[in-house]
Chain A
Amino acid sequence: MSDKKNPETQETPQGCGSTCVRSDVPERVIFTEEMRRTYTILLPTMLPRHFKILSEVFHYYGYKTEPLEIGLHGDSKKVIDAGLKYVHNDACYPALLVIGQFIAALESGKYDTHKVALLLTQTGGGCRASNYIALLRKALTRAGYDYIPVISLNFSGLEQMPGFRITLPMIHRTLYALLYGDLIMMLVNQCRPYETVPGTAEALADRWSSQLAAEMTAGHISYRKVKETYRRIIRDFAAIDGVQARRTAPRVKVGIVGEIFVKFSALGNNALEDFLVSEGAEPVMAGLTDFCLYVVTNAMVDYKLYGTGFWKSRIYRIVDRFFLHKQDDMIAAMKEEPLFTPPSSFRHTRTLTRDYVGLGAKMGEGWLLTAEMLELIESGVNNIICTQPFGCLPNHIVGKGMMKPIKERHPDVNLVAIDYDAGATRINQENRIKLMLANARK
């Protein structure tokens, strides 16, 4: 019965009598080898630039992927409305947005709905996020799209599809996409508050992400060239007019941590980065690579704590070393330009929670969230916004639950928890951030 042990049996209906056919959700639609060639796979867009580059990695390996644009250009209402309509309102806000984005895209008329598949990540962790995919299927059924295949992107062997396979080289290339995306994201945040002509950094970022996207489809990626590209990107950003002020007249730095989707997605956090920049602050965020390393770390910790998954932990140890090494190179490139602040190595970040929360707390963002707050404080960022969907379960513990112990040891730090939700208004959120900024500038 278990997916893990027996992925094949899952596809056939289990011995079901005539009285108990479930009409609410049909049997899982399979993404076949055939579909791989003809179907467009839609990707939900958490980080537009990252996903643009990532999508090209998929292209290179023969998938026709397309990151969704709907909801990102002042049309977030369409996405939220679709989400509210088809997702249980008590489900968390990211689920509502991700599914809302898919449905809104399907209903936009832009796609031949008989020629698309949807891709969603599934961590397999103990948070309800692992069930987004089930919520998506239910929503599709309700919206009349029950024939659309949904592909789970995961590394836990859940729900395998014949037409979709993740291979090692693919992961390798994905890692570069991630690192590029992170680098650009950090540079944009470090430049935007200072640029003389508003929009310069973003325009540069867009140009680079298009260029990098093209690079992802090159037959061979030379790592030497990747490292060289890091430096070229950094040089370009350092040359933006006005950015020198980052050293001479630094702005208040505001760290953003939180549930992964609302932390990163402008759709989820009402364009928090834009707001901070407009208020004259500099947003600081750790990249998506950290989250991946967090997942990798958890596999190793599981073995240490529970004695389970020996081989898995061994493999992940290799992956861990490899990833960290790549992250080091990116950090090194950033260090060469004194204008910019590089992130901490994850090797260090994960040691920070020791006195706060155990590395066993691995559901949702788990200990990573606490570690990110501590990493920010360590690097001198004393104002931190902890973003979370309203009622986020893991964040009760690793977010709000860790604020008191952190403040006890770092009394000068401003921590503010902001809830995001379809019903929460921007004015309340912004008001609280303004309060934090007023304090920071005292």
Chain B
Amino acid sequence: MRDGEKGTELSSWDTLGAVAGAGEAAIGIDIGSTTAKIVVFCDGQLQYSCYERHLSQVRPKTLELLLRVKDMVGDRPVRVAISGSAGLGLAKAAGIPFVQEVFATGETVKRLEPDTSVVIELGGEDAKVIFFKGGMDERMNGTCAGGTGAFIDQMATLLDLSIEEMDALSLKHTRIYPIASRCGVFAKTDIQPLLNQGAAKENIAASIYAAVASQTIAGLAQGRRIQGKVMFLGGPLYYCQGLRAAFKEALNLDDDHALFPEYGRLSVALGAALYATGQSACTDMETLIRGVSAACNEKLETAHTQPLFADEAEYQAFCARHSRASVKVVYPTDYIADCVAAGRDEHGVCDAYLGIDCGSTTTKLVLMGMDGELLYAYYHSNRGNPVGIVQEQLSEIYKLCGNRIRIKGSCVTGYGEDLIRHAFHIDRGLVETMAHFMAAKYFNPHVDFILDIGGQDIKCFKVKDNAIDSIMLNEACSSGCGSFIETFARSMGYEVEDFAKLGLFAKAPVELGTRCTVFMNSSVKQAQKDGASVGDISAGLSRSVVNSAIHKVIRAGSADELGQEIVVQGGTFLNDAILRSFEMEIGREVIRPRIAGLMGAFGAALYARSLGLAQSSTLGPEAVAAFTHTSKAATCHGCGNNCRLTINTFHGGEKYISGNKCEKGAGRKVPEGADVIPDLHRYKREKIEALAESAKDGGRGTVGLPLALGMYELAPLWFTFFTELGFRVIFSGPSSRSLYMKGQYSIPSDTACYPAKIMHGHMEDLVSRGVDAIFYPCLTYNIDEHTGDNHYNCPVVAYYSELLAGNMESLSKTTFLYPYLNINDRKQLTKELYDLMKDQFGGFTRQAVSRAVRAALAAYDTWMADIRREGEAAVRWARERGARIMILAGRPYHIDPEIGHGIDKLATSLGFAVVTEDSIAGLTMDSAAAVPIHVLNQWTYHARLYAAARYAVAHDDVQMVQLVSFGCGIDAITTDEVRAILESGGKLYTQIKIDEITNLGAVNIRLRSLIGALEYAGHEGEYGNSRVETTADSAPTEPTQAGKEVADRV
């Protein structure tokens, strides 16, 4: 953001009045996570204000600011206060009064706009909402700092735009994409595919702002409505018009009720000055400056880890060791000459193979000779336009090779695989995990563990018996990934290479958290507070990224759990600080190929070579030169998913549609038989729809059942009960994003799982339909299926009604019934429900209630039996045809299309027959005792997961994929156990974390990796990766074009 300026902008603050008396000075300092602000009043009048980035140099920057105003203040007595998240340490060290920043903001607002009802302030890392009217209340973001200034900065970097450009673009948007708003990390996961699919930056920019607004409102209002006069403060809201618009839109405010004051970004500093004038403590500039200077020289107090390298010599030895893993690099003309000399040409034309890795943040391209030599390599950020980059690079390759080299085969992998394959008629697409495996084998045929850290994803796989044994990907969290370091380096004013170098010889790397990038930001803030150097932070970040990868994604306890022969790759590992941190952490030397950043493309090229095609379909030089590409947005109405599509049109009118969850949206013909593949998720959904339609009106009024959480399981039970008693039953929903938004304002705990949070929308929906009562009981105990040690519900499913009753004002418009019930004992249930019905409605006999309960329990049993029958039929169907079976397991509510995101459809489109864990309950009996369970098996839903896992272990044709809602604490236990059960039977474990928004592209990779791994295990050698060689450093003496390219990057 901009540099400081003289305080002209404050001149218009008529209402401010005098601050500090005649002959005195008042100084307010605000040190945030990224910027430092100062306001100076002399003799009651504003003299100076300034807003500057401090680039982590908190104390020197403050000193600089004070020195700047030293003469202005002269020898006046000074009243001063410091505020801001990074100001606390300095205040302590320099003996200056500290005022909490929200408190300071309150001072400013009370002085300048006393009729404000709510203040929303966004800072670098903080978001605050202060309620002034109706019980003063101040809220700050907790440990999750998503949706703040730092996040916007990161997003701008991702879009390759400056803050100003992003803002300007956002104002021209035509549509808003849904972007996860909880945490910046998720948002990034959503934005990346949009970029790769070619969505317009205008729309993405506006979508980012909308997500920030949504995050702030949902995360901080916590059930309190933001209304009345709302004032917006802080840097981002000062600079970004688009963000302002997003907030106005989200809160439905007009110009009279949305205030964006001129002093917005200085409000905390101003409040600090106001606070200071109210204090008795007084000092002078001399003392103040002395105090801050002394603080600048203070010793560190943050925790530290050992340096990455003791000295230069150690570093040189390290570099020498890693330079051994390299590929032969040959300039195309030399290659042609060599081939001709060896007689391997065909009329002077030589074959080569093209590999493209269109990753999330970078595009990699490799042209490979017949012996695996590198003829051309390219590695670059895709700058949000991978198609353009591939076009440019293909032209470059054709120019270099002329007509002497012929592309004999091509293959593309990575996030943008489909797009690039369609655009340039690439021969094959390969799931990226397989591409990396092939490349790693080239460097170490005995490789048993591959770790790939890319821009925003971590992939790692274990290799056993020459096949991928298990795959782990980071999900919904990109801590431990490269782009974090990159954006972080830039935010501190460095290029990533320089930033990494500073870390190599740092003396005292700081100890940072491992959980999430957002938390790391906070840890860095703490380190800055304590005066850590940039090098210490850089080295600390490297350690932290590696720790996240090992402990969070891979969850390894020791190096031995990873493997003996480890190959690391991915652009992030080109950073020596990261590589060194990794080796230090696991205490073992690893292989990092010099082409670590190109491994995906290299593997793709190896695959292309192995295809043995007679001719490649890749676009030729003329076609590439004439190639054009446009993209536009659309919504598919093929089914209830309402996928948001991006339609890419290429030269010649060819179309490629992305964003679709199934084949229908792609505008392609649905393959023969695709519709008949059994899908129990679909079956269960349709069954509930049919149930809802069968509602009868018995004249007793209407009862609403929210179709969410446990209701997905017990719908037939409660439906029958109320119908029997003469009520017309109305189900809420169906779930959708907009339904969720309807109830979002009343969510008190934003870190709860999405299936719970969507309840609020369902309740609103029922209220708006005017039902007489809403019923969602508290069920501590779930149905007892006698399969575990107990039969609990999870705390959220069991008691969410209590939360709804306490937090949703709109429920006062109806009667909300949420009794504690025992559904396992018919008599007891009858008694409890009779009491309830008698008290609430009157006029029911005990007999009538008893009959209804009997009917309800019978209906539930019939329902479940039918689902089991259908599940068994699906298994039979698949076995008759030799199709693969997938247990797409989770919770009953994961069949909700808004929660499950149509993953079932994706699975059937890949040829799996999809069953659920409850639908095969009947089949699991025989295998139930086969594998012991080592956790306390005490939740009904989870017991089914263990049973399903045991079934998968016992049957070769059954794979299990576990859906896990983000924020589900109980699944921290079940996932490890399910994994252990599956792995004990030699099965692959696939887990998919789902949230508000799920990147189906990543799910696709997982499922295809699963298929790839299964096929690989079945038909070894099909991938033709027999040629393995590791050459010593053999770069040509004269760095050629291609060689240089590689040398620069490697």
Contacts and interface: CB of A to CB of B under 8 A. Distances in A.
Given A14-B929, A360-B820, A435-B140, A391 B516 contact: no
A23 B557 CA distance: 15
B322 to A, nearest CB: 26
A424 B522 contact: yes
Interface in A204-218: none
B930 A427 contact: no
A396 B751 contact: yes
A412 B136 CA distance: 8
Contact of B799 (A21, A23, A397, A400): A397
A88 interface: yes
Contacts of A92: 969, 972
Contacts of A84: 514, 547, 551
A139 B976 CA distance: 12
B515 A130 contact: no
A391 B967 contact: yes
B223 interface: yes
Contact of B795 (A77, A91, A364): A364
B70 to A, nearest CB: 29
A190 B188 CA distance: 48
A325 interface: no
A305 B806 CA distance: 21
A360 B780 contact: yes
Interface in B969-1005: 969-973, 975-977, 980-981, 983-985
A134 B935 contact: yes
Interface stretch (A336-344, A373-381, A413-421): A413-421
Contacts of A402: 803, 806
Contacts of B970: 128, 393
Contact of B803 (A17, A397, A428): A397
A391 B938 contact: no
A362 B806 contact: no
A81 to B, nearest CB: 9
B81 to A, nearest CB: 12
A125 B794 CA distance: 10
B558 to A, nearest CB: 8
A276 B800 CA distance: 33
A396 B756 contact: yes
A356 B939 CA distance: 26
A68 interface: no
Interface residues of A, number: 92
B964 to A, nearest CB: 9
A245 to B, nearest CB: 22
B526 A426 contact: yes
B936 A89 contact: no
A393 B984 contact: no
B835 to A, nearest CB: 11
A126 B802 contact: no
B424 interface: no
Given A89-B551, A361-B799, A423-B515, A134 B934 contact: yes
A138 interface: yes
A129 to B, nearest CB: 10
Interface string B728-772: 000000000000000000001101100010000000000000000
B88 interface: yes
B756 A126 contact: no
Contacts of A125: 792
Nearest to B778: A360
A404 B802 CA distance: 12
A405 B806 contact: yes
A363 B142 CA distance: 24
Contact of A2 (B551, B788, B930): B788
B800 A397 contact: yes
Contacts of A143: 557
Interface residues of B, number: 95
Interface string B816-844: 00001110010110011000000000000
A228 interface: no
Interface stretch (B11-19, B99-107, B575-583, B612-620): B99-107
A183 B241 CA distance: 58
B525 interface: yes
B758 to A, nearest CB: 14
Interface in A69-100: 77, 84-86, 88-92
A394 interface: yes
Interface in A346-400: 356-358, 360-364, 390-400
Given A396-B752, A435-B140, A134 B973 contact: yes
Contacts of B969: 90-92, 128, 391-393
B936 A158 contact: yes
B143 A363 contact: no
A385 B749 CA distance: 15
A13 B984 CA distance: 15
Given A22-B980, A84-B551, A438 B99 contact: yes
Nearest to B135: A411
B789 A2 contact: yes
B78 to A, nearest CB: 22
A158 B790 CA distance: 11
A425 B526 contact: yes
A360 B778 CA distance: 8
A15 B930 CA distance: 6
B514 A422 contact: yes
Contacts of A90: 969, 971-972
A434 interface: yes
Interface in B821-878: 821-822, 825, 827-828, 831-832
Contact of A425 (B523, B557, B981): B523
Contacts of A2: 786, 788-789
Given A20-B931, A396-B751, A126 B793 contact: yes
A271 interface: no
A168 interface: no
Contacts of B516: 423
A137 B101 CA distance: 45
B139 to A, nearest CB: 9
Contacts of A357: 799, 802, 806
Contact of A431 (B85, B136, B523, B751): B85
Given A22-B980, A77-B303, A362-B780, A391 B803 contact: no
B751 A20 contact: no
A31 to B, nearest CB: 17
Nearest to A126: B792
A421 B143 contact: yes
A89 B973 contact: no
Nearest to A95: B972
Contact of A85 (B557, B930, B967, B976): B557
B132 to A, nearest CB: 12
A305 to B, nearest CB: 5
A199 B168 CA distance: 59
B323 interface: no
A305 B516 CA distance: 42
B795 A394 contact: yes
Contacts of B831: 307
Contacts of B557: 85-86, 139, 142-143
A422 B511 CA distance: 12
Contacts of A418: 142
Given A403-B222, A438-B103, A425 B519 contact: yes
What 9 A-B pairs come out closest when comparing CB atoms? A423-B515, A423-B513, A401-B803, A126-B792, A306-B822, A360-B820, A90-B972, A423-B519, A134-B935
Given A358-B820, A403-B748, 16 more contacts: A1-B787, A1-B788, A2-B788, A15-B929, A16-B930, A91-B972, A128-B973, A139-B557, A306-B821, A306-B822, A363-B799, A411-B134, A412-B135, A423-B513, A427-B88, A435-B140
6 contacts: A25-B934, A91-B973, A128-B970, A363-B798, A393-B970, A402-B806
Interface of A: 1-4, 13-17, 19-25, 27, 77, 84-86, 88-92, 122, 124-128, 130-131, 133-135, 137-139, 142-143, 158, 305-308, 356-358, 360-364, 390-405, 407, 411-412, 417-419, 421-428, 430-432, 434-435, 438-439
